[in-house]
Structure 1
Amino acid sequence: MTKEEKYSLANWAIQHALDHGADQVAISIAQSKSSQVDVREQKIDTLKEAIQSGLTIRLYVEGKYSAHSTNRLDQTELARFIEQAIAGTRYLSADPFRSLPEPSLYYKGDGADLKTVDRGYDQLDPATKVELAFQVENEVWKKDDRIISVTAGYSDYTNNVVMVTSNGFSGDSERSTFGLSASVSVNGGDARPSEGWSERAILFDKLVKSGIGATALDRALKKIGQTKIGSGKYNMIVENRAVGRLFSPLINALNGYSIQQKNSFLIDKIGERVASEKLMLTDDPFIVGGHGSRLFDNEGLAAQKRVVFDKGVLSTYFIDTYYGKKLNMAPTSGETTNLVFETGSTNLEGLIKAMNNGILVTGFNGGNTNGSTGDFSYGIDGFLVENGEVVQPVSEMNISGNMKELWMALAEVGNDPYLLSSWQTPSLLFNKIDFSGI
């Protein structure tokens, strides 16, 4: 289905819903393609390809709301589907906070090309995908007697969406991603440490295609000999790829749903300093080629660049139309885009060299955070650092504390943002974190 055909079908569906009793309507029509290749022991373990199309309709009927999805896009079948959805919505309880956004907040078109899709996606030969997966595995295959197992994989995904509302929004977006990954487990005596590595890109030509398996193997071998060390307060460096585990509860606390449900430790904190002055964070939807770049969100609200934390002072929440009305707050968008840290001057190696005694965390194992209080506990993998040198792999240890205290303890921000995600987290140094071990 072409983009023009999607728009035509969406406009028809909106009119049909209005004609049959809906007060407001929003339609999204999406089409996606994906493929996945996994190889193991020089054989193809998984080979998948999928093409999906579907329509989602959001209905506002007599003060009541519902959302419905279908992959049946024939107008005759769709007409009946819409009529039944409207009839069902009438049985629901009224919700006075449900409505489409104010039209003045919609994206009006003519935005810049953010280059979020590879136009050559459909020209990529399936044989090339299989070859790339084997290429990753071959970097590791029989390279060390301690290897127990190796899994390597290739994946890609693309989608395009057209969205139209009954009160004036019309827009479309496209996105693609390509990935390569490896996972390696090795014999480490009583333990069998494992590690992985992956690369990701929006454009196939920009995808890093070598060194993935070798890096996964190197990281796994370095974990041999993991052990607990003594409990205590240690300075902690968190590798950029692992920061998301600690960053996620902070961002979740800014979500309108969490705030309205009293499940946020940052309720009523706008304008207050809630983190270290080292935390400078911006939500930037307009980065060309950014993994989270967009011109509008899933409601059609025009994207805006926003400061989230300014020297530790909280500047904004992520509020959609519904929770904005419930909280009596102006909507900003219920979604993050590219979260960008103001980085420091030192990379991960520099942060390690400057640490006299501490722990480098490279991964987390289990654990949780209490959203309302901020109390957390996580298992960690990593390395003991002494006098600026990595001296011992550590595991089976936990960190615990409170998110507000943790982010107040942020002492340094690395200059190595993780650019393979919309959350561009750099390596971070925190002072005096509680570790439990022996």
Structure 2
Amino acid sequence: MKPHTDEPLSDGTRARNRKGSLSRKGVRRCGVVAAALSIVMLMSSCMSQGAVTEKRADQLSLGDAVIAVRLSQGKFSAGLPDPPNDNWIVLLDAQGRGQATRIENKRGSDVMWTERGLSFGAPDKEYVTTDQGTQEIDVKHSWSSEYQRFSLPDGRIAVVDLSDGIRVDTIHPNGRIETTEIPDTSAPVGQCGQHIVGITDTEESESIRSAAFEAYAAQSGGEMPENVAAVIQIDEPTGDVPRLLAVAPAIDGLVEGWMSVPCDGNVITVLSLQQDDPAAVRSGKRNSLEGVLVLQRWDLSTGQRTIIPVLDEAGQPIETDQDNNLYGVRAIRVGDEYRFVTKKGDAFAVDMMSGNARHLFSIPSEKTFIPAVFQVSETGVYALEQNDDEDVLTLSYQPWDGGGKRVLLTTGTMSRYLVERNLLMGYRRSVESFALRPGWDGGAQ
């Protein structure tokens, strides 16, 4: 273990010594075992046996559904043909009954439940399902993957893809789709109010190079850095160039995490990773995920950026590595805290001004080879877990501020969609994403 340093992490300086870890293995082991035993006992008494009816996508309606699940393309079994290139969208009520439809596979695609309805997509179509039925919208240019979708305050839905530059399909309530394409641009993106923003630099995004250096020169009047970082707005570009909101010298090895961007007026806060040794990463000697957690705070009114170290309860920087990092993090702002859950179920709260972090809990998981999928709200964390042995799904909830894990729904009605076994084919699907009906919490509160 390296010795701790009291040297502050300033803009342009990375943390070099740390002690904490993003992993919390072994935390509250007795509580985990007890909770797991409780869940096993509950499953036998709470498992739903309702039926799922298959329909065409344009025939779906929400009805009494409280949860929507998108299942991934199947993972093939050795010696058997490749599974079909499709996804299933399944709507279930509180008893596990519901509807299912099969659509073409779209990698990384979400289901998103808004006040307007349930939003999901295929490569060449977008769907919005309500109590009255499903609006099926043709997409002009087919795309096989998706980064994220966002619900805008005015009822529009923005669907973002980052596979070749940045592309945004904005779906209006009347079904019109407005497409924005920004070539030569790469950035993790997130929602800030009514806009979609991202953080990039002039090495990653050739499209902003000229404008970013010009903006930095006008702002600083000092020596020009080799690389300039920028906050960009991608939903209202000027031609092929995204609008610049703020610029600052790029910091070597600073990597943005999940861009669920907490906005406070003109201030954007992003949980990020500062690599231990960026030069070693570039040469292939170190993993790009090895580093420590920091917060980036961008003040769009002044263009200033501040880097805040994230410290654990002992005052030590929090480490990341290949297994414990920001990939797949789900986060939300609650008061003055940035609260998030990692893909392994470790939940943290970080004060957005001081960077002081608290480990809140580790969510007990059933024995499974398929990781749980999480969603977060202002009150807590929802987890959807897939049990390998029984092919059942369990939805649970754990409040941020304690109270233990609570099972809301356990159902085996989707088993035939999760696993296909016959003489010609065998494969297993996993949960790609899920969404809960707004206002429904399953009695979690």
Aligning the two structures, in what range does the TM-score lie when normalised by the shorter sequence? under 0.3
- In the superposition, the TM-score normalised over structure 2's length comes to 0.24
Bigger relative contact order, structure 1 or 2, given CA contacts below 8 A and separation 6+?
2
| Structure holding more helix per residue | 1
Answer with 1 or 2: which has the greater Rg. 1
| Higher-strand-fraction structure | 2
Normalization by structure 1: what TM-score?
A: 0.25
